[in-house]
Structure 1
Amino acid sequence: MAVSTTTRAQTVDWDSIRNDFPVLQQSHNGKRLVYLDSGATSQKPKVVIDALNEYYSRYNANVHRGVYKLSEESTARYEEARVKIQKFINARSPKEVIFTSNATGSINLVAYSWGRANVRQGDIIVFTEMEHHSNIVPWQILSQMTGARLEFVHITDDGYLRWEDIDRVLQLRPKILAVTAASNVLGTINPIEEIVKAAHSVGTLVLVDAAQAAPHMPVDVQKWDADFVAFTGHKMLGPTGIGVLYGKRELLESMPPFFGGGDMIREVHLEWTRYNDLPWKFEAGTPHIAGVIGLGVAVDYLSAIGMENVREHERELVEYALEQLSQVPDLVLYGPPAKDHGSAVSFNLGDIHPHDLAHILDQENIAVRAGHHCAQPLMERLGCAATTRASFYIYNTKEDVDALVEGLWKAREVFKL
């Protein structure tokens, strides 16, 4: 990876970044792999893979529990990663960074721990029409458990949240509003800072699903002022099975544990238990140590590039993609213009089913996602059962966009459009 430490924006060699990712070096039938499914999971640079191998081969031991050298090094690397993530999202303290299994685990932690302690019958929970299922289903379950009422923020035809809906639901003074920072289908980047300010003005807490934001753009939790922020490691160059929940310290302190067991305790007796301090109160049992360490290395990698540079690279790439895709006959694009568009680009091509289209593209060694993308309510709003989605990341270039467009023209020939 070629990055200057001075004028980064002008010296990032985006073409060379691809060389850092072993899986991208393969080809099929003479065609290089064009990976356009980073919205589902990103590929991993060699430095992350090496970090996992180093942990398991050199200092594999449990954290927080041993006084011998291996355990102490494992613990140090684990907690160093927490500090890296704290700085990456500009949290006030490492104690506000909770390790979970993924963004889904983070949202469920809030819904079960904060939700069961604070939501009662008749209270209102709000989420939006563009949410991933992981930011819908936990709130539905909480509503069923407590008798709370669900309200929704709908979207415009061009993929933005309806501000009149936000104003309407906030007049009801809901307990919490759950909103994605960037849609995994439409690519819409939502104005989180404005939404949080409006919600706080009526005493409503805000949980932000940043799974599609943290990998692709600067995230400053203090600037957002969100109460909870959830994201996942595997979408931002890290291992699978590791996620992060950021929460304001005063909220986390007041919440009961989600899981009970080892490491989340200070002392245990037959009839009562005193819980551990933050952040360990929410990290019961042996954690995904290698995953945490690997995520810390992934954060180092992204920080070296600069998240402002990541965002600008993807903005230019998506702008080019939207221009080129719009020239393909019979293709319908979903979502806002490039200036408000994240890394995910969804479309349908004529009457070709997205799964059939993805199969044709796979024959060209182009990997895209096809389906409802865990966003069935949004599919209902769009009036389709599924879409094809190309999602871009730091290792993609305009050459990948050109390959995608060429593949779409081939699909038109195959299906005689």
Structure 2
Amino acid sequence: MTVTLVPAPLTLSAPPAPHRPDPLAVLGVPGEINLDHAASAPCARAAADAVAELLPWYASVHRGAGALSRRCTLAYERARQTVADFLGARPGDHVIFTRNTTDAVNLLARALPAGTTVVTFAGEHHANLLPWPRGSVRLPVPASPAEAVRALDAALRELRRVGPRSGGGASELPVLVAVTGASNMTGERWPVAELARAARRHDARILVDAAQLAPHAPVDLAALDVDYLALSGHKLYAPFGVGVLVGRGDWLDAAPPYLAGGGATSHVGAATHDVRWATGPARHEAGTPNLLGAVALAAVCAALGEADRDALHAREQALLTRLRNGLAALPHVVELRIFGPDAPRVGIVSFVVAGRDSAEVAAQLASTHRIGVRDGLFCAHPLARRLLVEAAARSGRRDLPPTALRASLGLGTTAAEVDALVSALAQPG
């Protein structure tokens, strides 16, 4: 008996693809529920990995000829370009790395041309209230986004009519409108594009504080037609001490350096004041820059740029609705708001527990339930006090505390964590 062996056909199967961790996964401590993203968001995997990869090469930026320094300089300038692309910067815009949003706004305040009038709303974070020069105009907190646009339009028209003149009929001196993209207290989104159009009608420039907006929604300077934008890395999942000011270069190049020192100069002579300052971002980035912060921020920007932002938005809005509905079902909890209950908002909710001190509630949530929230007036004291008074009037309660609680959501937040907060608040104090 003869047996003929027929070889089996050769099949080649590709090796399993290596597991790639989600760059937008966030680091955390098991068992701890972090609902305080609006103060400082947790670190994204993309930021941590970018820093870990660069650390062995860490060296000077713009200062050395060695391989390490050259690599770090390239990483720093690539980070600048990545951030510029993420934020829709235009040709001629400067991307200046700062410490945080507050630092970025202060930088622009120092760079304002002489005679500039700044127009803000009373609903701003202190970072967008306190840096501006005397003579600034602070508009009342509006009751709706449409009212904000009307109020700004009217204020700018009046400024142009009666403001100081530089030689013509109507006032020609610079005007800057400074507004938030999303409230750090309530998460409500401000009508940035409409406010920008109002500014354009009256030849004013506009700065957007995007600290709370950028982590939750795409922000594009060119599409919104805004002149300047400020944000913080620590709120955008890159907690390495970096912020950014992006915007038109003419005012920034004409202003004295924000900090005087190495890197901000193109020439220093023997005489005391024989100095020529650099133009471009370097003019306001004196000293050794925060390389790791810039690289971390750029890594998160790149990861968000490749993500499905619509899906992220839908997921966050579902969690936000779950949280707001849960709080609304608790008779002793009152939500704070600027606009109507259905106004667009990001994942931030401020509220009070009737009859209970907010600091004590926050402490109990942490000690008993391992839930972290924020309590206080959230560096927006004028707005917070107003909203607390309005909440008392709206609810008819006289036992609301003088400060509030804030729960803020983001990447990594789960429905179970939202439910845990609502359940904890439902328990007797």
CA apart distance, 1:320? 1.9
Are residues 1:242 and 2:242 paired?
yes
Residues 206-221 of structure 1 mapped to structure 2, 5 A cutoff: 206-221=206-221
CA apart distance, 1:220? 0.6
Q: Secondary structure at the match of 1:355?
A: helix
Q: Report the Cα distance in structure 2 between the residues aligned to 1:279 and 1:321, rounded to whole angstroms.
A: 42
Q: Could you say which residue in structure 1 is the equivalent of 2:114?
A: 118
Cα distance per residue 1:114-171 (max 9 Å; x no partner): 2xx3326xxx4211121100100101xx21xxxx243324222x78854442233122
Are residues 1:256 and 2:261 paired?
no
Residue 72 of structure 2 is aligned with which of 64, 74, 77? Answer: 74
Considering fraction of residues, name the structure with more helix.
1
Q: Could you say which residue in structure 2 is the equivalent of 1:386?
A: 403
Which runs of 5 or more structure 2 residues have no equivalent in the other structure?
1-20, 161-174, 390-401
Residues 18-167 of structure 1 mapped to structure 2, 5 A cutoff: 20-24=25-29, 26-27=30-31, 33-56=32-55, 58-93=56-91, 96-114=94-112, 117-119=113-115, 124-139=117-132, 142-143=133-134, 148-156=135-143, 162-167=148-153
In structure 2, the CA distance between the partners of 1:160 and 1:241, relative to structure 1 (3 Å rule), is farther
Q: CA RMSD in A?
A: 2.1
Find the structure with the greater CA-based Rg: 2
Q: Secondary structure at the match of 2:51?
A: helix
Q: Could you say which residue in structure 2 is the equivalent of 1:371?
A: 376
Q: Report the Cα distance in structure 1 between the residues aligned to 2:216 and 2:121, rounded to whole angstroms.
A: 21
Q: Report the Cα distance in structure 1 between the residues aligned to 2:311 and 2:341, rounded to whole angstroms.
A: 19
Cα distance per residue 1:32-75 (max 9 Å; x no partner): x221100000001233223323333x111110111110000001
Q: Report the Cα distance in structure 2 between the residues aligned to 1:98 and 1:51, rounded to whole angstroms.
A: 20
CA apart distance, 1:352? 1.1
Residues 303-342 of structure 1 mapped to structure 2, 5 A cutoff: 303-335=305-337, 336-337=340-341, 340-342=344-346
Cα distance per residue 1:322-375 (max 9 Å; x no partner): 112110112111224355111210111112111111112112011110100000
Residue 286 of structure 2 is aligned with which of 284, 295, 299? Answer: 284
8 A Cα contact 1:48 1:297, kept in partner: yes
In structure 2, the CA distance between the partners of 1:383 and 1:19, relative to structure 1 (3 Å rule), is closer
Q: Could you say which residue in structure 1 is the equivalent of 2:353?
A: 349
Cα distance per residue 1:85-138 (max 9 Å; x no partner): 111111124852110110000000011122xx3326xxx421112110010010
Which runs of 5 or more structure 1 residues have no equivalent in the other structure?
1-15, 28-32
Q: Secondary structure at the match of 1:173?
A: helix
8 A Cα contact 1:18 1:396, kept in partner: no
Are residues 1:170 and 2:163 paired?
no
8 A Cα contact 2:24 2:45, kept in partner: no
Q: Could you say which residue in structure 1 is the equivalent of 2:5?
A: none
Paired AA for residue 33 in structure 2: V
**Percent of aligned pairs sharing the same letter:** 32
Q: Secondary structure at the match of 1:325?
A: helix
In structure 2, the CA distance between the partners of 1:44 and 1:149, relative to structure 1 (3 Å rule), is closer
CA apart distance, 1:398? 1.7
8 A Cα contact 1:88 1:303, kept in partner: yes
Q: Report the Cα distance in structure 1 between the residues aligned to 2:345 and 2:304, rounded to whole angstroms.
A: 20
8 A Cα contact 1:371 1:386, kept in partner: yes
